[in-house]
Amino acid sequence: MEEELTSQGVHLYLNSAVTEITENNEVKAIVNGSKFIPVDIVVIAIGVRPNTAFLKDTGIEMLPNGAIIIDEYGRTTVRDLYSAGDCATVPHQLLKKPAYIPLATSANKLGRLVGENMSGAMTAYQKTLGTICIKVLDLEAGATGLTEEQAKKLGINYGTAFVNDMNQAGYYPGQESPKERNWVFLS
């Protein structure tokens, strides 16, 4: 991603501390230490983590990172208490256990499901694979399931294959030449 951005003329200041953003009805510059950098746009990417420290002594079971562990119905380990969103785990299809994957798609689905279940329905969440995709300028990237590193770390038998494939269906306008993709499959 970094290579794609810089090749398109985007200047990146990675691992830099922004100490000030000056403005006059629009962003003018960021100051990194004593360096004044004129900018058109500022993207602040700080990651996501559950804000659950206040639940520490409640008996709610959590992962080491603070994510609230739920079952497939959104129930926590405390009777009649449900959780959903970026503070909660999701049932993972391949791991066969709760995983912390803070994605809007999962949060939205699980939030609705929890609302229904709190009203008396008992609908199970259809486990996630953690599918993500992104397009930045001309670079497309996506992932679903586990990476090779994750499978290796978990002791799961896996294989890899490089596949040349199109990025969309052939009938869709703007079809590009095949791109190489790395596939990890579980055995």
The 10s digit of each residue's pLDDT in 78-115 is: 999 999 999 999 999 988 899 999 999 999 999 999 99
How far is it, in rounded angstroms, from Cα 39 to Cα 147?
35
Considering only residues 83 and 138, tell me which one the structure prediction assigns the higher pLDDT: 83
153-172: average pLDDT: 78
Q: Where in the chain is CATH 3.50.50.60?
A: 48-128
Query: For position 117, what pLDDT does the model report?
Result: 97
Could you tell me the strand order of the sheet in which 20-23 lies?
A: 20-23, 27-32, 35-38
Considering only residues 184 and 63, tell me which one the structure prediction assigns the higher pLDDT: 63
Query: For position 31, what pLDDT does the model report?
Result: 62
Whole-prediction pTM: 0.74
Strand partners, 36: 31
The DSSP output letter for 4 is H
Sequence-separated (6 or more) residues with CB below 8 Å from residue 14 = 2
What is the amino acid identity at position 148? E
Looking at CATH, the fold of the domain delimited by 48-128 is given as: FAD/NAD(P)-binding domain (3.50.50)
- Band (167; pLDDT cuts 50, 70, 90): low
176-187: average pLDDT: 67
Considering only residues 180 and 156, tell me which one the structure prediction assigns the higher pLDDT: 156
* Whether 11 contacts 40, CB under 8 Å: no
Give the helix/strand (H/E) hosting 112. Answer: helix 104-118
3-class state of residue 148 by DSSP: helix
The whole-chain average pLDDT of the chain stands at 85
Query: For position 154, what pLDDT does the model report?
Result: 86
Query: For position 177, what pLDDT does the model report?
Result: 67
